[in-house]
Copies of this chain bind each other. A is one copy, B any other.
Amino acid sequence: MNTQALLQETPETETVSERDMANAIRALVMDSVQKANSGHPGMPMGMADVATVLFNRFIKLDPLHPQWPDRDRFVLSAGHGSMLQYALHYLIGYPDMPIEELQRFRQLGAKTAGHPEYGHAQGIEMTTGPLGQGIATAVGMALAERLLVQRFGEDIVDHHTYVIAGDGCLQEGISHEAIDLAGHLRLSKLIVFWDNNSISIDGPTSLSTSMDQLMRFEAAGFDVQEIDGHDHEEIADAIARARSSDRPSLISCRTIIGKGAPNLQGTEKTHGAPLGDSEIAAVRQAIDWPHRPFEVPEEIIETWRDVARRGADERREWCVRMGASPHGDDLRQAVQKQLPASLFEELGAFRREHVEKATKVATRKASEMVLGVINNATDLTIGGSADLTHSNLTVTPGMRDVTPQSFSGRYIHYGIREHGMAAAMNGLALHGGFIPYGGTFLAFADYARGAMRLSALMGQQVIYVMTHDSIGLGEDGPTHQPIEHLAMLRATPGINVFRPADIIETAECWELALKYADRPSVIVLSRQNLAMLRHAHTEENRSSRGAYVLRETAEPRAITLMATGSEVEIACTAADMLRGQYKIPAAVVSMPSWELFEAQTPAYRRSVLAAAPRIGIEAASRLGWDRWIGEKGAFIGMQGFGASAPAPDLYRHFNITPENIVATARKLIN
């Protein structure tokens, strides 16, 4: 789009001014919040002018084709201002956002949730609310655009990512990780509007910060500007300049929170509560808005709908370019995330080969080998690590780095930024065109929690490669040894947590992570070598059932040993000892994924669990295991934090040994 041309469409020549358009937002916002008797009017009223200029003069989207791959991405990082987004959607004319939806703001089943929820209404590019997630996810979206431009050409990929962020977003640590990465990669089509209203929930932001944000963003490599966020020409000029910069942009918009509310504006009182009937009446006076609640004059609506008309034109032009482009089909396939069928055949062959070889490697190494197959077969995967590449083993031969100078690579050095990495991966997935995976140590899932939860809530296919998954990592000690992390992840709805026991299960779990396109997967991997436990190749992906009998007994089971990951090998040794030394028929169940096991039929679950007493074995917290071991069972695992020592010493120290399993089994049976 030609920025100069847009600027020449001076809105003053219309009968409806941008002031009227912004006031329509203000009125819809305050009335919706009042009707819900809940919500945040302050931010949308304060940012109504910025949003109006952005949408009226610049943004590229087509409400009738909300999934148009080359649309601009608009991210409301300050998600509590959700009514700004809903009002815009109504005014522009998204078919799924009639006025009735605004009237149902924050009610059960409405598209107009308290914070923007991905999947509720078209055009909501992501779920926001936890502060800072929007700006950090937008970095991934902007990165996706750069990568796709490189692959398919600027004629069919050429859009901006716009973010509205509040003081909260900029105070959260994740914003630092995000802007450092964006500045480093020179993501020039990322444009962040900071709603610089000097107010947070507790009161003036001077209560808690003295940060010079412009200097801070400049330090990160951003182009920075500061404007009056209520001056439409300043806003337009700033956006035009930001669009022409070769760096990401921060536009500090000095605004008045709750702008338009004569008695409350500029105070935290407008932030998170309805204005109240009398103040709303005062607003109507102050902004000269005589219309009834939820009524917007037709000419104002019509003017707003021009945004959609412009977008529809732009999309039509894009379709023409797509037809002419040699890469049009490639872009379409990428957006549909079509994996080649041959990939799954190759993964099957990989399993067969390694069963036969009885390959003994750490599962992190197994993961690297599987990734080699995957990355050869498809370009959809885009890898990376939070500065632990050669520990997580996330890079495969031939993968080139993404650098500020070139986006032709597909490996991202995310830096020591687990949270930023997770959010950027969400952005890559949401944008479309990629299946992102990224590595860190499992213990540092802690740092990425905020964004991992959003992967799950938004149902995004993001694959977390989390190595060094227990005390088995050894000497680095308790800070690096996960204890509660499996429970934390398993308790989170909508995540597949995989903890494979050997190279075969690792291949199976990767296959499943690729197949479950509607959710994130966490693949939890060992640092230490693990034996190959499968005796024969099966066509079936046995991990797909979540848990299965790895070692069945000839006679009726006297005991069932259930374990995951590196502890399955220990359980197998214990079962051999029980059989060999005590003639006790002990079965071993491997449980690579609790979620998938939970999803099986009760009959299948019963067949696996069986009636004999059960021992759960996992070098982690017990929490959750009682579901499987039942009242007669026992758990062998961690009771507290780990320690620093060589791994074999730690397993002995914490009594996670075949000998302890044998002794426990014998006690349970007698």
Which residues on A are within 8 Å of B, measured CB to CB?
36, 38-39, 79, 106-110, 113-115, 117, 127-131, 167-168, 171-177, 180-181, 183-184, 200-202, 207-216, 218-221, 385, 387-391, 401, 404, 413-417, 419-420, 443-444, 446-447, 449-450, 453-454, 456-457, 474-480, 483-484, 487-488, 490-494, 621-624, 626-627, 630-631, 638-641, 643-646, 649-650, 653
When the two chains form their complex, are residues A388 and B208 in contact, meaning their CB atoms are under 8 A apart?
no
Q: Which residues of B contact A415 (CB under 8 A)?
A: 171, 200, 207-209
Specify which of A109, A168, A207, A213 lies most central, judged by the most chain B CB atoms within 10 Å of its CB: A207
Instruction: Kindly provide the distance from the CB of A104 to the nearest chain B CB, expressed in whole angstroms.
Output: 10
When the two chains form their complex, are residues A202 and B115 in contact, meaning their CB atoms are under 8 A apart?
no
Which chain B residue shows the least CB distance to A40? B476
Number of identical monomers bound together in the oligomeric complex: 2
Q: Which residues of B contact A184 (CB under 8 A)?
A: 208-211
Cα separation A626 to B631 with both chains bound (whole Å): 9
When the two chains form their complex, are residues A641 and B215 in contact, meaning their CB atoms are under 8 A apart?
no
Question: Are A483 and B476 CB-contacts (below 8 A) given A130-B444, A202-B385?
Answer: no
Cα separation A129 to B492 with both chains bound (whole Å): 26
Question: Are A130 and B447 CB-contacts (below 8 A) given A171-B415, A478-B117?
Answer: yes
Question: Are A167 and B416 CB-contacts (below 8 A) given A202-B387, A484-B493?
Answer: yes
When the two chains form their complex, are residues B480 and A115 in contact, meaning their CB atoms are under 8 A apart?
yes
Q: Which residues of B contact A131 (CB under 8 A)?
A: 416
Cα separation A444 to B131 with both chains bound (whole Å): 10
Question: Are A180 and B38 CB-contacts (below 8 A) given A171-B416, A216-B216, A624-B623?
Answer: no
When the two chains form their complex, are residues B180 and A474 in contact, meaning their CB atoms are under 8 A apart?
no
Instruction: Kindly provide the distance from the CB of A172 to the nearest chain B CB, expressed in whole angstroms.
Output: 6
Which chain B residue shows the least CB distance to A477? B114
Cα separation A391 to B271 with both chains bound (whole Å): 13
When the two chains form their complex, are residues A476 and B211 in contact, meaning their CB atoms are under 8 A apart?
no
Question: Are A413 and B211 CB-contacts (below 8 A) given A476-B114, A484-B488, A645-B107?
Answer: no
When the two chains form their complex, are residues A210 and B476 in contact, meaning their CB atoms are under 8 A apart?
no
Cα separation A456 to B494 with both chains bound (whole Å): 28
When the two chains form their complex, are residues A202 and B390 in contact, meaning their CB atoms are under 8 A apart?
yes
When the two chains form their complex, are residues A491 and B484 in contact, meaning their CB atoms are under 8 A apart?
yes
Cα separation A106 to B414 with both chains bound (whole Å): 29
Instruction: Kindly provide the distance from the CB of A51 to the nearest chain B CB, expressed in whole angstroms.
Output: 21
Q: Which residues of B contact A108 (CB under 8 A)?
A: 643-646, 649-650, 653
Cα separation A391 to B268 with both chains bound (whole Å): 13
When the two chains form their complex, are residues A173 and B211 in contact, meaning their CB atoms are under 8 A apart?
no
Which chain B residue shows the least CB distance to A130? B479
When the two chains form their complex, are residues A447 and B449 in contact, meaning their CB atoms are under 8 A apart?
yes
When the two chains form their complex, are residues B475 and A38 in contact, meaning their CB atoms are under 8 A apart?
yes
20 contacts between A and B (CB under 8 A): A106-B646, A108-B644, A113-B478, A114-B477, A114-B480, A127-B479, A171-B415, A171-B416, A172-B417, A200-B415, A202-B388, A208-B387, A208-B414, A208-B415, A208-B416, A457-B478, A484-B488, A493-B639, A630-B630, A631-B631
Cα separation A201 to B444 with both chains bound (whole Å): 16
Which chain B residue shows the least CB distance to A488? B488
Q: Which residues of B contact A491 (CB under 8 A)?
A: 483-484, 487-488, 491, 621, 623-624
Q: Which residues of B contact A454 (CB under 8 A)?
A: 479
Which chain B residue shows the least CB distance to A268? B390
Cα separation A447 to B212 with both chains bound (whole Å): 23
When the two chains form their complex, are residues B449 and A117 in contact, meaning their CB atoms are under 8 A apart?
no
When the two chains form their complex, are residues A210 and B450 in contact, meaning their CB atoms are under 8 A apart?
no
Q: A200-B415, A212-B220, A624-B624 are in contact. List 5 more A-B contacts (CB 8 A).
A: A36-B475, A172-B173, A173-B419, A216-B216, A484-B488
Cα separation A106 to B477 with both chains bound (whole Å): 8
> Contact partner of A171 among B110, B177, B640, CB < 8 A?
B177
Which chain B residue shows the least CB distance to A594? B623
> Contact partner of A487 among B390, B623, B640, CB < 8 A?
B623
Cα separation A160 to B100 with both chains bound (whole Å): 60
Cα separation A513 to B491 with both chains bound (whole Å): 25
Considering the complex of A and B, which 5 residue pairs feature the smallest CB-CB distances, nearest first?
A173-B173, A208-B415, A129-B479, A176-B176, A484-B491
